[in-house]
Each structure stands twice: as structure tokens, then as C-alpha cells.
Amino acid sequence: MRKLLLIAALLPTSLLADDVVRVAVASNFIQTAAELSKRFSETSSIEVRLSGGSTGKLYAQILNGAPFDVFLAADAERPRLLEQGGHAVPGSRTTYARGALVLWSGDRTLVGRDCREVLNRGDYRHLAIANPATAPYGKAARDFLVDAGLWEQAKKRAVFGENISQTLQFVATGNATLGFIAASQLRHRNLPSTSCNWTVPDSEGSPLDQQLVLLKSAAGNAAAREFVDYLADEQAAAIIRRSGYGVPGR
């Protein structure tokens, strides 16, 4: 009997839980996804497992056969590429959230200052940006800086986060004076008090339409489909909106 228990304890939980959905989530959405999957698992017997990372990294992992069922990206480009490349279930691609880019600082010397003006004047030691090659929020930040004519100046003092979470960490620890983060991160429970923040208007930044796809390997996975359907549900939309995102079509 004791042996049996031991074996049961050693079994991967996937064999014990009814159904499992493995989700690759862009870092900016990880907290929201955690809340969504908690609610989702309350009403179904499906377990959701989240793996966070930059959109580009997750995309590369998926191309290399990472065992994910659903991909919640921070852009529309990678899901489109996956669909075109036959790695995603055709027609499963939808926009689940619309993000916003925020210039933020927790630097005490900047209290009461206008973040945008600090950026213009170059009054900072380091500016944190997510890696534009892998993180859509980083790409949006660079596009904004290029359009504003500030890239040449900013480039020299930019530090690049591996993903948007590390970018926030660079600013939150005070190692970077200010940084471009996701609006949803302003609701992070451990965020230090804000010295200044400025939301990049849609008109000045690239749109951050965040799309999802059901991945090819999950085509016959009913649990994965159920989770994707849940994300379009009214309750989920309310959570997503409360987390600082726009929800398309509502």
C-alpha cells in the first residue's frame, strides 16, 4: 500500500488530473492569464499550465516542437506566421486583448516630473526597453522612439530586458531611471510607488493587438478549445479589461 502511494505521488500530475492545457503566455499577460486560468479551473476540471516568456522566444520554442496547446502572444505577427506555417489550427487566431505601452518611473528624484519631458530631455541614466527583436512591447517602444526622433539619443543609454517582465524589474529596482512597460504591469501588486507615468497614445505607438492561436498539436484537444472559448467569454473579458487591456469588439 505504501509503495502504491509512493508511485502515485511520483506520477506526473498530468496523468492524475482530468485534462491539462499547456499555455505559452507572453510575459505581459502572465498575471492576467494566471487569474483567468484560476477562474476557469474553478468551473471545469481542466488544469491550465502557464509558461511565460517573450513572444519571440515562445514562438521559437513552438517552431522547435515545444509541447504547448495554446499560444497567447503579445502581437499579431507571430500567431499569423504560425498559422501560415501550418503550426496552428486554421481559423483559431483571434485578438484576445489590446495592450498599451507606458513610460514609467519609480525614481524618487522624478516625483512630480512629466515622464515624457524627462525622456525628451534625456534626463535619465538608463532607459529600460524590452528586447525589440523578441518582445513586441520592446518593438513598439523602439518604433515610438524612432518616430519621435529620440532613438539615436535613447539607444546609447538603453538597457534591454529579456522580456517585458525583466524590463519592469530593471526600472522597479531603480537600476534604470525609466522604462517602457505594459499598461497591465501598472497593476502589478509589488510595483513600487510611481514617480511618473505616461501612456503612449495609440496614435503615436504601434497598435499592440495581442492574438492567440490554438496550436496544431491541440487540434483534437477539447480542453484546449474550451479554454480558448472561455477567453472570449463575458467573465473573462471583464477580467482582461480590469487588468488594463482593451477587449476588441466590446
- Contact residues toward other proteins (CB under 8 A) are 54, 56-57, 60, 63, 125-126, 128, 131, 133-134, 158-162, 170, 173-176
Rank residues 137 and 170 by Cβ distance to other proteins and give the closer one: 170
Provide the minimum distance between the beta carbon of 94 and other proteins in the complex, in angstroms, as a whole number: 25
Rank residues 131 and 221 by Cβ distance to other proteins and give the closer one: 131
Provide the minimum distance between the beta carbon of 56 and other proteins in the complex, in angstroms, as a whole number: 6
CA distances from 144 to 101, 138, 139 (A): 10, 10, 9
Rank residues 161 and 244 by Cβ distance to other proteins and give the closer one: 161
Provide the minimum distance between the beta carbon of 128 and other proteins in the complex, in angstroms, as a whole number: 8
The residues with which 211 forms a beta bridge, in sequence order, are 95
Rank residues 6 and 63 by Cβ distance to other proteins and give the closer one: 63
Rank residues 156 and 250 by Cβ distance to other proteins and give the closer one: 156
Provide the minimum distance between the beta carbon of 58 and other proteins in the complex, in angstroms, as a whole number: 9
Provide the minimum distance between the beta carbon of 3 and other proteins in the complex, in angstroms, as a whole number: 33
